[in-house]
Amino acid sequence: MTVTYHREQELGIITVDNPPVNALSHAVRQGLNDALAQARNDDSEAVLLFCAGRTFVAGADITEFGKPVQSPSLQQVNERLESLGKPVVAAIHGTALGGGFELALCCHYRCASPSAAVGLPEVNLGLLPGAGGTQRVPRLIGPQAALDMITGGQKITATDAAGLGLIDRVLEGELKPAAIAYARELIAGGAPLRRIRDLSVPAPGFNQNAFDEYRKQLGKRKRGQQAPQKIVDCIEAATRLTFDEGLAFERERFTECVASEQSAALRHIFFAERTAPKIRGLDTAVQPRPINRVGIIGAGTMGGGIAMVFANAGIPVTLLELNDEGLQRGLALIDKNYGITIGKGKLSEQEAAARQARISGSTDYHSLADADLVIEAVFESMDVKRQVFSKLDEVCKPGAILATNTSYLDVNEIAATTTRPEDVVGMHFFSPANVMRLLEVVRADKTADDVLATAMSLGKRIGKVPVLAGVCYGFIGNRMLRQYGREAQLCMIEGAAPEQIDRVLTSFGMAMGPLAVGDLAGLDIGYKARQALTAEQKGDPRTYCIADALVEQDRLGQKTGAGYYRYDPQTRARTPDPEVLEIIQAQAAQHGVQQRELSDGEILDRHLLALINEGFRILDSGGRDRPTGQRY
């Protein structure tokens, strides 16, 4: 049974057991409904709500979204829970998220293990809490904190939740006996039935102007997203409507979100990200190799970013450069990046220092002799990479994984440089590596299964979304981005300014525009990659002539203070540069392009359709190979 009810003297104990995360499936809701009926009709003095396994209810069963709701709904269960005529205490461990936390909010009291966390992350799926979360949370903690919590979608630790007033008691020791003791303490003290629905929203100073200003700021942080704005509407409704009216308002907005294309897309991504690391056809007996120390070759922007990724995950890193000057420059950039994170309040000075302490520098290849994994992040030159891997083959211990961060080059050719091609794999990070979540794991012809398993499991360990790719030019991400960038170049040479192109794409919802991304990654990377191609492979000169012209004038992007934009050396703030417009116009004239005014709509359509069409080509070309785990 997914839900059981039993008595322990004066207490009724409801236990949910629906592994792996106790999702609120129909069976769980029906079980809760039946258990509450038992509790209502017996002489128990209070009821404790527990969950078996590793977590409290971690959320709704999202596989039921878009399907007819089977009674009882979560709203019906919550109503019966809240209206029970005796105290109900939720005992939380693991995570109480989404509908799970809304369930806990309908209990009269909430206690939790110190390691527990709570949250309403529905916004990450293009949704909003649909079972009273937007109406109950502001009644407990006020509109401002509720807005930050629900539009942010992050988890909150039990200690912080208690400080806000979302949790009543953080328990010490084993959860069940501590929660039973807490429930008995409430009974002995004659604790009242504290129903959140009966509270008013504490909203001094939070008026219509405050909600309007929050919507404005949210529009900048979550551009183009519908769910965050609807969350503001719901929390505002909590301040001016009765509780039941607010619930009805919330439910209408929730239904709108569920039916939206945005939520459908985000739910697809949710499942895709969880499916991607699974390699079809790989024997389940294959075990990953242990990774306790990592080496990174190349202390540039990419290499330093990768070093930060592993240091942030608690894995010691040796960062190798050819000379001390380059090494110190790389370590200084890492220090600067951590300083920026501290300045934004996202990391304490102590934690930043601890992470930096995990990164050591070296100019001697032999310092990598005890590394379990070495990732090269040097120039996109096959000759350079052959030299690096030949040296790694000499100094690295047997069983060490040798990975290349190449964006485009043939991993088979790189692997052939070594005497152990079975240990070679592609691990392609995206810039900035310490921020971007995608990690392409590239399977070469001779890559061993346990090497693949290691790379995929390690990707999850360091907080990335690992995706398996086969060997081809650009793999998956850059193959798509090549078409995206192609349209940016064509739009520029046809008459659109860089800032117009980037504005259109960021207004749509992209975190950065394609040209700003180019400046961030470094325009020399693409330039060097093109130099290895034939004229036929390069394609239409109009799709790269502007980028080449910029590089040939030493405008490499942020690293040189100028690319498609000019950059402030201290803040990295970018500004349009009239010199770039002159370069664009000169290239247009040279290639016989008559410039014109491009509408924002045309720019958006051309960029998005380029991505969509290439995505279909990738699926079409890789579909027959999917059983082997390859998608390229």
Instruction: Indicate whether 623 pLDDT > 80.
Output: no
Sign for the CA dihedral angle at 151, 157, 160, 166 comes to positive
The stretches of 6-118 forming alpha helices (DSSP H) are 26-41, 74-82, 99-105
Indicate the SS3 state at residue 319: strand
Residues in the chain: 632
* Structural contact between residues 29 and 35, judged by C-beta atoms closer than 8 angstroms: no
Structure confidence at residue 86 (pLDDT): 96
Indicate the SS3 state at residue 120: coil
The reply to whether 102 belongs to the active site is yes
Q: Cis omega before residue 143 (within 30°)?
A: no
List the structure tokens of 265. 């897309």
Backbone angles phi, psi at 51, to 5 degrees: -130, 140
CA distance 569 to 561: 6
Virtual torsion, Cα 466, 470, 475, 476, nearest 10 deg:
-60
- Percent of the chain, pLDDT > 90? 81
Instruction: Indicate whether 273 pLDDT > 60.
Output: yes
Residue with tokens 């009239």: 578
Please report the DSSP string for 536-597 in residue order. HHH--GGGTHHHHHHHHTT--BGGGTBSSEEE-TTT--EEE-HHHHHHHHHHHHHTT-----
pLDDT tens-place string over residues 327-358? 999 999 999 999 999 998 888 999 999 999 99
* 11-16 and 46-51 beta bridge pairing: parallel
Residue 555 vs residue 571, higher pLDDT? 555
CA distance 472 to 210: 52
Binning pLDDT at 50, 70 and 90, where does residue 604 land?
very high
pTM for the model stands at 0.80
For 108, counting Cβ atoms within 10 Å of its Cβ (0-12 exposed, 13-18 middle, 19+ buried), the class is buried
Instruction: Indicate whether 632 pLDDT > 80.
Output: no
Structure confidence at residue 628 (pLDDT): 33
CA distance 453 to 463: 16
pLDDT tens-place string over residues 455-468? 999 999 999 999 99
List the structure tokens of 87. 């105290």
List the structure tokens of 345. 């309040």
Indicate the SS3 state at residue 614: helix
* Structural contact between residues 305 and 338, judged by C-beta atoms closer than 8 angstroms: no
Q: At how many degrees (to 10) do helices 243-258 and 133-141 cross?
A: 130
Backbone angles phi, psi at 379, to 5 degrees: -60, 150
Which domains does the chain possess?
Answer: 3-123+137-198 (3.90.226.10), 294-474 (3.40.50.720), 478-617 (1.10.1040.50)
Sheet with 294-297: strands ordered across: 359-362, 317-320, 294-297, 373-376, 401-404, 424-429, 438-443, 465-470
Give ∠ CA 96-98-104 in degrees, rounded to 5: 50
pLDDT tens-place string over residues 377-397? 998 889 999 999 999 999 999
Residue 446 vs residue 511, higher pLDDT? 446
CA distance 631 to 627: 9
Instruction: Indicate whether 471 pLDDT > 80.
Output: yes
Instruction: Indicate whether 631 pLDDT > 80.
Output: no
Catalytic residue among 8, 10, 45, 122: 122
Structure confidence at residue 624 (pLDDT): 31
Binning pLDDT at 50, 70 and 90, where does residue 626 land?
very low
CA distance 97 to 424: 40
* Structural contact between residues 15 and 31, judged by C-beta atoms closer than 8 angstroms: no
Instruction: Indicate whether 205 pLDDT > 50.
Output: yes
CA distance 192 to 181: 17
Catalytic residue among 10, 79, 102, 394: 102
Residue with tokens 């190799």: 289
Average pLDDT, the chain: 93
pLDDT tens-place string over residues 80-119? 999 999 999 999 999 999 999 999 999 999 999 999 999 9
pLDDT tens-place string over residues 231-255? 999 999 999 999 999 999 999 999 9
Mean pLDDT of 132-146: 96
Backbone angles phi, psi at 23, to 5 degrees: -60, 150
Mean pLDDT of 435-461: 95
Instruction: Indicate whether 555 pLDDT > 90.
Output: yes
pLDDT tens-place string over residues 24-73? 999 999 999 999 999 999 999 999 999 999 999 998 887 777 678 889 99
Sign for the CA dihedral angle at 491, 496, 499, 502 comes to negative
Mean pLDDT of 291-307: 95
Structure confidence at residue 402 (pLDDT): 98
Indicate the SS3 state at residue 112: strand
Instruction: Indicate whether 622 pLDDT > 70.
Output: no
